[in-house]
Every structure is written in structure tokens, then in C-alpha cells.
Structure 1
Amino acid sequence: MNKKQIALLEITVIYFIVAVGGYATFQYFKEEPLVFRMLYADLAMTVVTYIFSVIKKNSSVYDAYWSVIPFYFILQYFYLFDGADWSTPQWICAFVVSLWSWRLTLSWARGWSGWEHEDFRYVSFRHQFKAFFQPINFLAIHLYPTLIVFASMWGLQWVYETGVLEIGWLFYLGAATAFVGTIFEYLADNELAKFRLRPNKKKDDILRTGIWAKSRNPNYLGEMMFWFGVAMMGTAYAAPWYTVLGSVGMWMMFMFASIPLKDKQMMKNRPESFQKYKKEVSRVLPF
């Protein structure tokens, strides 16, 4: 096996250990309400992931967590709420979330070169915070994303626990929004993968083909669409209004943190070509 294959095998073993830690925590808190059992398990898995990121000296151990955990949630709901007897909308929800989860995880695995690679944002944090990096590593890189994904998935508990669809049109609109968002991400990631393999690379090259010719951040657009779609599906099953706040927080994170950080990096590496790209192509929406 080459270095990347060995690294992928290691990360697979790590996530198996993470899952075992989460399951053990979930079983330990049997007397707690379901939402707290799920939260405690999620936090335990985050801690295990953080420990491995310290051991490997690479915070990108956490990168796959973002996309893997929602699929873990679906598996747990299947086990807890008689998955064999789910209604068609419940299966549609499970399909859309699972499609997003597996597609994003496989896209990450395709683009991850191995342990020598760490997300540029984490590298920047290491240089910026130096001796204080580890608190930032745990709180900002591991804990916050875990909490925002958990909050965004919370509404799906009503989809599977109550199983009573109250607003059909809203559910199907949400499912369609999440599905289209997943397709946007698929198209964006494929274009990006092709761009990275282009011949005759130049430092100031900018990806401007396909969906990237209409939006500077089509992958983030797809991500925001997915999470708002999840919120709509939960709301259609009478999830409380506050379960939508997770998706709002997700939107804020992309709009006020992820995209600005990416723009700053692009401006640093490709100032002239990126300045031109900014003037000609929309920041997020493809129009």
C-alpha cells in the first residue's frame, strides 16, 4: 500500500474507535432523555477525535467528522425507531442525509493526500496562536463544529420519533433543497478535483469553469442549502422553532468565517487574478 492508502486505513480505524466510544457513552446514559444521550455520545466522539488529532499532530483528523456524524445519527434513528417500518418521507429524509454524508466523505477521502496534509486554516491557527493552539484546536476546530452540526440535525429527531408529517409541502421542499444542495457540492468538488490536476499549472490560476463560473463558493452554497433543507424537513414534522437555529448558525459560520478566511487566503496567494474574479463572479449565489 502507498502512503495515502495507509493513512486512509488509519483514519478508518480511528473512526471505528470513535464510533465505539460514542456507542458506549450512549448506552451509559440510558436514563437520560434521547437528545442528551445523543449529545453526550457526540461530545465523547469529539473528544476521542481530538485526542487522535493531538497524537497525529494533525487537526485534519477531524475533517471527516463533519460528514460522517449525520450518517451515524441516521443509523441510530433506524435502530431506535423501527427503521423497517419507516414511511416514505422518513426514508426520503434518510436517503438525502446519507447521500450528502457519503458523497462528502468520499470527496474528502479523494482529496486528502495523507498525514502530511493539514487544512490551511488549522496551519494558520498553529502559526497565529503558537503555545495557545491546543485550546483553539479543541474549542474552535473540534467542539464548535460538533455543536453546530448537532444543533442542525436536532430537528430530525421529530421526523423519526413522532413520525407524524404535518406540513407535507414543506417537507418535500426541504428534501428537494437538501438534495439540490448536495448536487451543487458534487459538481463543485468534481470541477475542483479536475482543476487541481490541470497541466501547466500557474500560481495565479483561478478555477472558473462549470458552476465556479457562476459562484465563487458553490460548495459552500450547496452546504448551506443542505442544512436549511434539513431544518425544513424537521419543521414539517413539528420540530420546535428553535431547532432551526442550528441551520441559521451554520449559515453564519459559512458567511462570516469560512468564506472570509478562504477569500483572505486567495487574496494572499493570487491577488491580481482573484481581485478580477471577485469583480466578475458572485460571492455565493449563482446570479
Structure 2
Amino acid sequence: MAFKNALIAFMAPLPSIIFYNYFLNHHQNHDHILSFLWNWCNQHPLILANTLFFLNIDVGFWLISLLQSSNWMIDLYWTVIPVLLVHYFGRHPAAEYNLWRSMVVVVLTWVWAIRLTHNYFRREKWQWGAREDWRFTDMAKQHGQNWWWVSFFGVYLIQQVFLFGVCLPLYIVHSVNKPLNIWDFIALVVCVCGIIYAYIADTQLHAFVSNNEKLKEEGKAMVPNLDEGLWYYSRHPNYFGEQVWWWGLAIFGWNLGGSWVFVGALINTLCLAYVTTLVEKRMLKQEYRVDAYKMYQKTTSVWVPWHKSSTNLLPKEKDS
């Protein structure tokens, strides 16, 4: 099963990759039978990217999920698609950019993707498609027999909105050629801080979960709550680090005149705020940790790292 899922994962994006490379090799051939299509692809790089995403990811991945009765692959490809997009925008014939800024953004995107992909496989015990995200499983139970078509919108089409929203800076970076300035350095620092912070938080969470699994196997009482390291100052430091990364990336786009580029990061932040509420409700359904987690909620900031409060005077933070 793992080998089959790995094979499917590697083959799934090939239609878009093959088409795009064929376009790059023939777009200057005006006598080609597809010259009209090549001209359209030349003039509309962002629309082309969305079209390929819709056909290959929304439709293609959705059909695969119906055949496998699992939406596991979209979780994995969340970490891969930004890498594909940054190279797509950089190689497009209409691309225009500062080489150094492009190199910085490409490297940052790769580092972010490697970190998140490593965390995905570490969490899944290095298995391909062992399970789908628990939120999709809950949604499937909620929608019952209608889930087969609801999943197209609730799992795949919505991902296009989020991913292209947060990846808009990658397009702007490769469509504007301006010299580097202080804001590029600030964006770089913010992105690196976000990646490192999220990595440390996820590593601490992984160690905590692994230790609890070991205690459970030994028949011992599990630790009800992680309240150490970065988790001492925030209930979701991994989410905070992830958002810092996306907002740092948005600074690159804003610096090049894309004043609207923060919309993507904002939408993603609002979505993650909603996810935070789902995660905390799930935590409170586990009897062995209810009391400890309720106290944790009272004394610890939701996202932004902050000092502990031993009273109920801590300002309430909205989860959504």
C-alpha cells in the first residue's frame, strides 16, 4: 500500500508538469498548430497556473480520493505545490525579476517545504498515505452520503483559494524587477524566524506525542498536556511560526508594489484560527486531559508567545 501511494503521489502532478514543459519548449514556434494556445499561456501566467491547478489538483486529486476513499494526498501536496509554483513563475516566458531576490525566495520556499514535508512524514511514521487528516474524516461523517461531491469543494477547491492566496508573493517577485532594499532583508528575517520557530515547536510536539505513545504501550498514565518549551508561552506555537512565514513572504510582494498581497496571508490566518478552535474542541473531548487543558487555556496565550498568567486576568483571545 505504501509503495502504491508513493507511486501515485509522484505521478499525480505529471500532467501539469509535462504540459508546462512542452509549452516552454514550443511557445516561440508561431507555426505550431497550438500557437494560439501558446499565446494565451504567454499572456496569462496566473490564469494558466490556476487552470492547471483546477484540472490537475481539484479534479485529478479529487478523482483519486474517490477511488481510494481517502483525501490523504492533498495534505502532502500542501508542502509541494508552493515549490512547483515558485519554479513555474520563475521559468515562465513573461517572468521579469531581480535575480538575487528570486534566488532568496526560491531557497526560502524550498527550506519551508522541506521542513513541513519532514514534519508530515515524521508525524505519519514515514508512511505514504497511512491516513487522511482527521478533519476530513470528521467532515465525511458529518455529510454522510453527500461527502463524495462535497469533498470536491470542501477539500480541493478551497485549497486553491488558500494556496494561491498565500503564494501570490511568489508571482509578484517574478513579475517585477526592482533592486533589493531594506524590506527584502526584513522579509528574509521574518521568513527565517517563522520557519525556525515552527520547526522547534513541531519537534517539541513530536517528542511529546512519541513519549505519550510509549507510556500508553507500557500501560502507564499519559502526560495530559504539553506545557514546556515554546508550548509554555503559546498553546499553538507551530501555527504561530507558520503564519509568521507566510506574512514574511507577503512582505516580499508588498515591497514590490503589491499592497493587496496581504489578503492571502490574512485569509490563511483566519482559516487557521478556525482550525485552532477545532483542535481545541478535540483536545477537550479526551477525558484524561480535560482539566489540564482547560487550565492551560486560562493561563496560556493562543498563538502569540506571551507570559504565563496565574489568574483569570489574562485577556481573552479569540480563536476565530
Task: Pick the aligned partner of 1:12 from 2, 6, 18.
Answer: 6
1:174, 1:229 within 8 Å by CA — same for their partners in 2?
A: yes
Q: Does 1:200 align with 2:215?
A: yes
Q: 1:69 to 1:181 in 2, by over 3 A?
A: same
Q: Mapping of 1:102-113 within 5 angstroms?
A: 102-113=114-125
Q: Mapping of 1:40-79 within 5 angstroms?
A: 40-46=51-57, 47-79=59-91
In structure 2, what is the equivalent of residue 266 of structure 1?
283
- Unpaired runs of 5+ residues, structure 2, are 24-33, 307-320
2:94, 2:175 within 8 Å by CA — same for their partners in 1?
A: no
Q: CA RMSD in A?
A: 2.3
TM-score by length of 1: 0.88
Deviation at 1:278, TM superposition (A): 0.7
- How many Å separate the matches in 2 of 1:184 and 1:142? 28
Deviation at 1:189, TM superposition (A): 1.3
Q: Does 1:156 align with 2:156?
A: no
1:184, 1:219 within 8 Å by CA — same for their partners in 2?
A: yes
SS of 1:186's equivalent? helix
Deviation at 1:280, TM superposition (A): 2.0
207-216 vs 245-254, which moves further:
207-216
Deviation at 1:82, TM superposition (A): 10
Deviation at 1:86, TM superposition (A): 5.7
TM-score by length of 2: 0.79
- How many Å separate the matches in 1 of 2:10 and 2:91? 18
Deviation string 1:233-286 (CA, Å, 9 cap, x unpaired) is: 1111223x233211110111111x110110110111132121011112111011
In structure 2, what is the equivalent of residue 179 of structure 1?
192
1:90, 1:159 within 8 Å by CA — same for their partners in 2?
A: yes
AA in 1 matched with 2:161:
L
- How many Å separate the matches in 2 of 1:76 and 1:12? 23
Identity of aligned residues (%): 21
- How many Å separate the matches in 1 of 2:154 and 2:295? 32
SS of 1:226's equivalent? helix
Q: 1:12 to 1:72 in 2, by over 3 A?
A: farther
2:183, 2:251 within 8 Å by CA — same for their partners in 1?
A: yes
Q: Mapping of 1:3-152 within 5 angstroms?
A: 7=2, 9-24=3-18, 26=20, 27=23, 30=38, 31-32=40-41, 33-46=44-57, 47-80=59-92, 87-113=99-125, 114=127, 115-152=129-166
Deviation string 1:136-176 (CA, Å, 9 cap, x unpaired) is: 3221222212221112212222212322247x222222222
- Unpaired runs of 5+ residues, structure 1, are 1-5
Deviation at 1:203, TM superposition (A): 5.2
AA in 2 matched with 1:252:
L
In structure 2, what is the equivalent of residue 3 of structure 1?
none
More helix by share: 1
109-118 vs 61-70, which moves further:
109-118
Deviation string 1:92-132 (CA, Å, 9 cap, x unpaired) is: 11111111011101210121244442222111111111112
Aligned length: 277
- How many Å separate the matches in 2 of 1:165 and 1:249? 29
Task: Pick the aligned partner of 2:296 from 268, 277, 283.
Answer: 277
